[in-house]
Amino acid sequence: MASPTVDVVVVGGGPAGSTAALVLARGGARVALVDKTTFPRDKACGDLVGPRGLAVLESLGLAPPACRKVGEMVVVGPTGRRVLLPARAGYTYPGHAVAIRRLHFDAWLRDAAVAAGAEPVTGRVAGVRGTSVELDDGRRLDADVLIGADGASSAVAVAAGLVDRRAALWGFAERAYAIQEVDRPLIVLWDETPGNGFPGYGWLFPGEDGSANVGLGLGLGDDRPAASRAVTQFDAFCDHLRRLGLLTGRVDGRRLGGWLKIGMVGTVAARGRIFLIGDAAGLVNPLQGEGIAPAMSSAVAAAEAILARPETAAARYRRHLAATAGRYASVAAPVHAWAITGSPRRVARLGRALTLPGLGAALAAPWALTWNDLLDGAPLSAAAITCRVALGIGRTATVRSPVRRRLTRDLDDH
């Protein structure tokens, strides 16, 4: 078959891939946007687009379709104690998130990329040779630049030798929908058995049309087979929510699971003319699992670097990540590895300590900034100062961490 030639092939039509394709197409590049499925299609996710994600959309002149604003978040400890995390606007982001199903959000964003000039291609990647992509139906797409936006298990990353699966920090999440109204997003720290904490957290988030998003996610380190715990323990977690009076509606039996690759560890984000963005690059917040905002931010950075000068774009993109998401992950990823993959009793003690009466309230504002990676652009306040001090202490404490050293090496790629 003929081999279409374009400037850039983007593999993966989720938030990262569609954002990159949109920016590139607006910049005059010929872009093929490839995805294995037709849209709309669903994804395992909490269905929240955070403040930084909304800021990216605004910078692109985009406003998401019908969605629900959400602000403050409640953290529920293993004993049921609750801490209210405030939602405050920064200089560069709004003071709220929005709830919108990935089924709708991803299709809308992909449509925006196609409207900007990206060519949609449906097909599963069967092989990658340099910057050329072979599809399972025999088609081949040749390009000057290849972008992998194909998720945590990225075929592009594997084919290009940009990921060391043994060094990556893996996670897995299981999600369903419940028929009930939820006022505020709830993060739930849970003990599987008394005194033995679950190595992750569960959630109950506001949804659309009288529904709620309920899920359970865990950190795995390099122990990928343990992902089944998110599936096997899902019903037990829902029972815990019911005992706390948080889950009152019927949970839909249709569930969806998905892999996470956390904190960029074990992944080189770009080399030569091959780039990884979003989950493919491991751009998932190590502390609370957010992926949409860093996916779109990385997509814009990679696309702008490519448009400016393709031959030096990889180094420029890695430098951008090192100064932004990498600076945060250099502390957050080692903390994740220490806390989540530690002993179950350590996890349980940590969850109880963070939600102690008085302590949780005192920590709430800096906790919100730190956990959600919102310090950059936050107004000067006692919370911002506390957050800055905490991150400084974290940088000192993690300087010898193998996780941090690996991350630094991957971002430098020398």
In a domain, 177, yes or no: no
Q: Which of 357, 312, 294, 341 is nearest to 149 (CA)?
A: 294
CA distance 217 to 113: 30
Number of domains forming the structure of the chain: 1
pLDDT on residue 254: 87
Strand, helix or coil for residue 195: coil
Cα–Cα distance between 243 and 266 in angstroms, integer? 40
Which pLDDT value is given to residue 5? 83
One digit per residue, the tens of pLDDT, for the chain of length 414 reads: 445 689 999 999 999 999 999 999 999 999 999 999 999 999 999 999 999 999 999 999 999 887 899 999 999 999 999 999 999 999 999 999 999 999 999 999 999 999 999 999 999 999 999 999 999 999 999 999 999 999 999 999 999 999 999 999 999 999 999 999 999 999 999 999 988 999 999 999 999 888 999 999 999 988 888 899 999 999 999 999 999 999 999 998 889 999 999 999 999 999 999 999 999 999 999 999 999 999 999 999 999 999 999 999 999 999 999 999 999 999 999 999 988 777 888 889 989 999 998 898 899 999 999 999 999 999 999 999 999 999 999 999 999 999 999 999 999 976
Residue 352 in domain: no
Q: How far apart are CA 4 and CA 319, in angstroms?
A: 32
CA dist., res. 6 & res. 138, Å (int) = 17
Distance, in Å, from the CA atom of 229 to the CA atom of 108, rounded to the nearest integer, reads 33
Whether residue 141 is contained in a domain is answered as yes
Inside any domain, residue 106: yes
Residue 296 is predicted with a pLDDT of 98
CATH number of the domain within which 47 lies: 3.50.50.60
* Residue 127 located in a structural domain: yes
Residue 171 in any domain: the answer is no
Q: Is 343 exposed, middle or buried (0-12, 13-18, 19+ CB in 10 A)?
A: exposed
Q: Name which of 258, 301, 264 is nearest 282 in CA terms.
A: 264
Is residue 392 in a domain? no
Does 362 fall in a domain?
no
Cα 179 to Cα 206: distance, rounded to the nearest angstrom: 11
pLDDT, position 340 = 79
Residues β-bridged to residue 48: 99
- Predicted pLDDT of residue 2: 44
Q: Which domain holds residue 288?
A: 5-68+98-165+262-327
Helix and strand totals (H; E) in the chain: 13, 20
